[in-house]
């Protein structure tokens, strides 16, 4: 799949989109009506915000990209709270002819269904239907989309069998928001094109498109005494087995450059650190003194934090880039496991039983300062800090199983974001600090689900037959 | 072998055989060795020692890895066997019930295995005879989500031959 629009933007934009359309137009001009709608929606949530102190810290994160909808940006990365307004998006009938046009249309619709802030409008709700005479904004009759209360209109025009132009318009004023052209050499490229279009669309809306460019690693059961590492797109598809070795491969973690997946491996004799190299497809099994290897976590600099036995207790050690012990990060008289580090590499959260019961702690790796994060409950485990360092999610044991909670490090507020049934465990933040994958037994056996930092309805990830657990996000290699 | 110790081993043997007999169906009978029992003339063979070590787990309370009096008595009996048959190597594997989360349970299982390991060393067993391993909650001894099942799953197993 090639995004031919991106090869030479200045020329291509004019050639493909013509009519004076330019990607470099100030994006904010196109979204004022939608922004106004956002203001109304946010006002309707005033009761929620009113409950917070007036001087509540605002999100410090400044999204990259166009920043088209600042209010949406703020809700996207806001402290924990209810899911916000949904952008009503309608997909016009694709224009032109190609063998792949139906498949691409369905693939984009499938992708958009994963965005909790997006709702794809039923075409039957649009008076006169969604078949357009043209994909160019000045030739589109937006009135019927306004009547159906649509916010955004997506168009696709197939230039020929293997080239498609895709555009997004803001309906209220008929303004062009975003567009791109893609080459689709064969059917296998369709889902990749849908992913890249949705990534760019998400970037245009909220500044982050990482979700559609990411992969999930997980541990899939291969029988009663075997599990292996697999990878899959968070939207399903491209499911692939990475390891096939006797024993249990669990707790995968992905290096930030996407090259390595490191995991814990347990066979009848020992624990070990499994290392898979995507460059060479080589697999190593590294043992450590003390025969304990639990919950590795890649640091931003490609070093690894992992619990090893120091001869007394499982403590958290730093491994260098050759996966050799470099130094102790956290050690106490008790159990210290499940490290998770933010994108700066400065803050590390982990589970510790140093106060008796397992609780979540955070250590500043620069200063050594340690604070207790979880204050409620008697059994809090599986912590994960958001890459932007604002939230910690973890599993709390409740009467009927574990539930996922989100703790806002800026306000100290805590909110339950999963509600079972069954047991919800192993929450893992996506690189965008918005999506969260977790393991749940809500459908009987262990499967992986997606939710967001705001909670809301969990969506299953299609990992095929068999149990799946230990989700871990990674960047898709190109 | 002094009289008292022989009595103790006889009691241990009977308890172990009862436990083996119970494996076919009902709940395992947990041996309660009583050092100082009746004197007897029987000698535990190597194979019997292996069976006794393998078939008598020790148990723990929820989220705990300290050894209670029953566990310490069991370990005393195991230490006697290991000190007698120094060619026997045992892997102590720590297990947990299904209520905790995987990674914490792996650490807890390690602590449980380590607790037995340290106690056996204190009783004179050679380090070369022992190793530890944790499976967390991967391999429950008893299926189910009942208190009885959980009680049986929070355990150390003693796997001979490692």
Cα A119–chain centre separation: 18
**Range with the poorest average pLDDT among A56-60, A282-286, A293-297, B70-74:** A56-60
What are the residue boundaries of the structural domains of chain A, listed by start?
Answer: 4-208, 213-475
Q: Evaluate if residue B93 carries a pLDDT over 90.
A: yes
Q: Evaluate if residue A400 carries a pLDDT over 70.
A: yes
Q: Residue A265: closest CA among chain B residues belongs to which residue?
A: B135
* Per-residue pLDDT, A290: 86
Asked whether this chain's domains A4-208 and A213-475 adopt the same fold, the reply is no
Which residues of chain A make contact with B66, given a CB cutoff of 8 A?
none
- Tell me which residue in B63, B103, B138 faces A294 most closely, judged by beta carbons: B103
Q: Evaluate if residue B28 carries a pLDDT over 70.
A: no
Mean pLDDT for B115-132 is: 96
Whole-angstrom distance between the N-terminal and C-terminal Cα of chain A?
10
* Per-residue pLDDT, A75: 43
For domain A213-475, the CATH superfamily is TolB, C-terminal domain (2.120.10.30)
Q: Report the distance separating Cα A173 and Cα A395, nearest Å.
A: 45
Mean pLDDT for B104-117 is: 96
Q: Report the distance separating Cα A307 and Cα A335, nearest Å.
A: 9
CB contact set of A341 (below 8 Å; sequence gap of 6+):
A297, A298, A299, A300, A305, A347, A348, A365, A385
pLDDT in tens, B54-65: 989 999 999 999
Count how many Cα atoms sit within 13 Å of the Cα of residue A13 in the half-sphere of its side chain: 13
- Give, as one character, the DSSP assignment of residue A15: I
Domains and CATH numbers, chain B: 45-160 (3.30.1330.60)
Contact present, B118 and B124 (Cβ < 8 Å): no
Q: Evaluate if residue B41 carries a pLDDT over 70.
A: no
Q: Report the distance separating Cα A462 and Cα A449, nearest Å.
A: 9
Which residue from A467, A416, A472, A407 is spatially nearest to A440, judged by alpha carbons? A467
Cβ contacts below 8 Å, chain A against chain B, sum to: 74
As a whole-number percent, the residues of chain B with pLDDT over 90 amount to 70
Which residue from A212, A291, A124, A286 is spatially nearest to A450, judged by alpha carbons? A212
The alpha-carbon gap from B128 to the nearest alpha carbon of chain A, in Å, equals 14
Task: Please indicate whether, in this complex, the C-beta atoms of B111 and A335 are within 8 angstroms of each other.
Answer: yes
Which residues of chain B make contact with A340, given a CB cutoff of 8 A?
none
Contact present, A405 and A453 (Cβ < 8 Å): no
Which residues of chain A make contact with B114, given a CB cutoff of 8 A?
309, 312
- Give, as one character, the DSSP assignment of residue A17: I
Query: What band does A240 get if pLDDT is binned at 50, 70 and 90?
Result: very high
Q: Evaluate if residue A438 carries a pLDDT over 70.
A: yes
Q: Residue A333: closest CA among chain B residues belongs to which residue?
A: B111
Q: Report the distance separating Cα A3 and Cα A334, nearest Å.
A: 53
| Class of residue A322 by CB neighbours under 10 A (exposed 0-12, middle 13-18, buried 19+) | exposed
**Range with the poorest average pLDDT among A188-202, A332-346, A458-472, B18-32:** B18-32
Q: Report the distance separating Cα A175 and Cα A168, nearest Å.
A: 9
Cis peptide, bond prior to residue A421, ω within 30 of zero: yes
* Per-residue pLDDT, A84: 58
- Tell me which residue in A291, A351, A382 faces B131 most closely, judged by beta carbons: A291
As a whole-number percent, the residues of chain A with pLDDT over 70 amount to 82
Q: Evaluate if residue B134 carries a pLDDT over 60.
A: yes
The alpha-carbon gap from B123 to the nearest alpha carbon of chain A, in Å, equals 18
- Candidates B105, B107, B130, partner chain A, best to mutate (most A CBs within 10 A): B107
Which residue from A336, A343, A345 is spatially nearest to A383, judged by alpha carbons? A336
The alpha-carbon gap from A37 to the nearest alpha carbon of chain B, in Å, equals 44
- Tell me which residue in B63, B107, B114 faces A337 most closely, judged by beta carbons: B107
Q: Which residues of B touch A (CB under 8 A)?
A: 63, 91, 99-104, 106-108, 110-111, 114, 131-135, 138-139, 162
**Range with the poorest average pLDDT among A42-46, A58-62, A260-264, B88-92:** A58-62
Task: Please indicate whether, in this complex, the C-beta atoms of A335 and B63 are within 8 angstroms of each other.
Answer: no
Q: β-strand A226-232 against A247-254: which pairing, if any? A: parallel
Q: Evaluate if residue B34 carries a pLDDT over 60.
A: no
Q: Evaluate if residue B68 carries a pLDDT over 70.
A: yes
Order of strands, edge to edge, in the sheet holding A424-429?
A: A424-429, A435-440, A447-452, A455-460
Rg (CA), chain A: 24
Mean pLDDT for A174-179 is: 92
Q: Evaluate if residue B49 carries a pLDDT over 90.
A: yes
Which residues of chain B make contact with A248, given a CB cutoff of 8 A?
138
Task: Please indicate whether, in this complex, the C-beta atoms of B104 and A337 are within 8 angstroms of each other.
Answer: yes
Return the SS3 of B69: helix
Q: Evaluate if residue A35 carries a pLDDT over 50.
A: no
* Per-residue pLDDT, A471: 98
Instruction: Say which residue the tokens 């190109």 belong to.
Output: A478
The alpha-carbon gap from A330 to the nearest alpha carbon of chain B, in Å, equals 14
| Class of residue A225 by CB neighbours under 10 A (exposed 0-12, middle 13-18, buried 19+) | middle
Which residue from A182, A266, A251, A172 is spatially nearest to A218, judged by alpha carbons? A251
Class of A4-208 in CATH: alpha beta
Task: Please indicate whether, in this complex, the C-beta atoms of A381 and B101 are within 8 angstroms of each other.
Answer: yes
Helix (H) or strand (E) holding A384: strand A380-385
Task: Please indicate whether, in this complex, the C-beta atoms of A397 and B99 are within 8 angstroms of each other.
Answer: yes
φ and ψ at residue A77, rounded to 5 degrees:
-115, 20
The alpha-carbon gap from B31 to the nearest alpha carbon of chain A, in Å, equals 26
Q: Report the distance separating Cα A445 and Cα A448, nearest Å.
A: 10
Q: Which residues of A touch B (CB under 8 A)?
A: 225, 248, 250-251, 264, 266, 269-271, 291-292, 294-295, 307, 309, 312-314, 335-338, 351, 353, 357-358, 379, 381-382, 395, 397, 402, 425-426, 469-470
Query: What band does A301 get if pLDDT is binned at 50, 70 and 90?
Result: very high
Query: What band does B4 get if pLDDT is binned at 50, 70 and 90?
Result: very low
Q: β-strand A347-355 against A357-364: which pairing, if any? A: antiparallel
* Per-residue pLDDT, A477: 58
- Tell me which residue in A291, A469, A470 faces B132 most closely, judged by beta carbons: A291
More confident residue, A449 or A2: A449
Q: Evaluate if residue A260 carries a pLDDT over 80.
A: yes
State the complex-level ipTM: 0.81
Q: What is the mean pLDDT of chain A?
A: 84
Q: Report the distance separating Cα B36 and Cα B47, nearest Å.
A: 23
Q: Evaluate if residue B156 carries a pLDDT over 60.
A: yes
Helix (H) or strand (E) holding A28: none
Mean pLDDT for A113-134 is: 91
As a whole-number percent, the residues of chain A with pLDDT over 90 amount to 71
More confident residue, A85 or A228: A228
Query: What band does B162 get if pLDDT is binned at 50, 70 and 90?
Result: low
Which residues of chain A make contact with B101, given a CB cutoff of 8 A?
381-382, 395, 402, 425-426
Which residue from B98, B99, B110 is spatially nearest to B135, judged by alpha carbons? B110
User: Rounded to two decimals, what is the model's pTM?
Assistant: 0.81
CB contact set of A287 (below 8 Å; sequence gap of 6+):
A270, A271, A272, A273, A293
More confident residue, A397 or A68: A397
Q: What is the mean pLDDT of chain B?
A: 81
Q: Evaluate if residue A36 carries a pLDDT over 80.
A: no
pLDDT in tens, A199-235: 999 998 888 889 999 999 999 998 888 999 999 999 9
């Amino acid at each position: 799949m090639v995004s031919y629009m991106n090869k030479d933007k200045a020329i291509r934009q004019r050639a493909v989109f013509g009519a004076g359309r330019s990607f470099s137009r100030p994006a904010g001009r196109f979204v004022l009506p939608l922004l106004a709608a956002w203001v109304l929606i946010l006002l309707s949530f005033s009761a929620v915000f009113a409950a917070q102190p007036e001087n509540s810290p605002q999100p410090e994160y400044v999204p990259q990209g166009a920043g088209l909808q600042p209010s949406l940006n703020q809700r996207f990365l806001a402290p924990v709270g209810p899911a916000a307004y949904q952008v009503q998006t309608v997909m016009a009938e694709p224009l032109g002819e190609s063998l792949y046009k139906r498949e691409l249309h369905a693939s984009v619709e499938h992708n958009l269904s994963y965005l909790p802030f997006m709702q794809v409008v039923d075409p039957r709700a649009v008076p006169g239907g969604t078949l357009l005479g043209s994909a160019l904004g000045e030739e589109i009759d937006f009135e019927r989309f306004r009547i159906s209360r649509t916010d955004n209109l997506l168009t696709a025009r197939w230039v020929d069998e293997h080239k498609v132009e895709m555009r997004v318009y803001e309906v209220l004023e008929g303004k062009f928001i975003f567009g791109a052209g893609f080459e689709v050499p064969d059917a296998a490229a369709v889902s990749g094109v849908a992913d890249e279009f949705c990534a760019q669309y998400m970037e245009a809306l909220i500044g982050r498109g990482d979700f559609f460019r990411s992969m999930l690693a997980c541990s899939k059961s291969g029988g009663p005494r075997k599990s292996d590492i697999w990878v899959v797109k968070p939207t399903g598809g491209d499911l692939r087995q990475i390891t096939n070795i006797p024993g249990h491969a669990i707790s995968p973690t992905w290096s930030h450059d996407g090259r390595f997946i490191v995991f814990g491996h347990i066979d009848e004799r020992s624990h070990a650190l499994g290392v898979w190299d995507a460059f060479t497809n080589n697999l190593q099994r590294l043992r450590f003194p003390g025969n304990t290897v639990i919950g590795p976590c890649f640091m931003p600099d490609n070093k690894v934090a992992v619990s090893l036995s120091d001869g007394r207790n499982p403590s958290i050690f730093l491994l260098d880039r050759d996966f050799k012990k470099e130094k102790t990060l956290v050690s106490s008289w008790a159990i210290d496991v499940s490290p998770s580090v933010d994108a700066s590499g400065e803050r590390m959260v982990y589970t510790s039983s140093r106060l008796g019961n397992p609780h979540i702690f955070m250590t500043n790796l620069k200063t050594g300062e340690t604070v207790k994060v979880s204050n409620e409950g008697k059994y809090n485990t599986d912590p994960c800090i958001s890459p932007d360092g604002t939230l910690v999610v973890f599993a709390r044991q409740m009467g009927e199983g574990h539930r996922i909670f989100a703790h806002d490090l800026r306000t100290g507020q805590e909110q339950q974001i999963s509600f079972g049934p069954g047991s919800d465990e192993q929450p893992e933040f996506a690189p965008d600090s918005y999506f969260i994958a977790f393991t749940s037994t809500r459908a009987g056996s262990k499967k992986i689900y997606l939710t967001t930092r705001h909670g809301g309805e969990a969506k299953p990830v299609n990992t095929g037959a068999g149990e799946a657990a230990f989700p871990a996000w990674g960047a898709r290699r190109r | 072998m002094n009289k008292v110790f022989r009595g103790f081993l006889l009691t241990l043997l009977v308890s172990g055989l009862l436990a083996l007999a119970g494996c076919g169906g009902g709940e395992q009978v947990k041996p309660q060795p009583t050092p100082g029992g009746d004197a007897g003339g029987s000698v535990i063979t190597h194979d019997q020692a292996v069976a006794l070590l393998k078939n008598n787990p020790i148990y723990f309370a929820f989220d705990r890895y300290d050894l209670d009096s029953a566990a310490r008595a069991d370990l005393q009996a195991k230490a006697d066997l290991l000190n007698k048959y120094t060619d026997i190597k045992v892997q102590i594997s720590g297990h947990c019930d299904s209520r905790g989360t995987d990674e914490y349970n792996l650490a807890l299982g390690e602590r449980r295995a380590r607790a037995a390991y340290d106690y056996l060393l204190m009783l004179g067993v050679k380090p070369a005879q022992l190793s530890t391993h944790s499976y967390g909650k991967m391999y429950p001894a008893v299926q189910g989500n009942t208190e009885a099942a959980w009680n049986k799953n929070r355990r150390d197993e003693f796997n001979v031959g490692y």
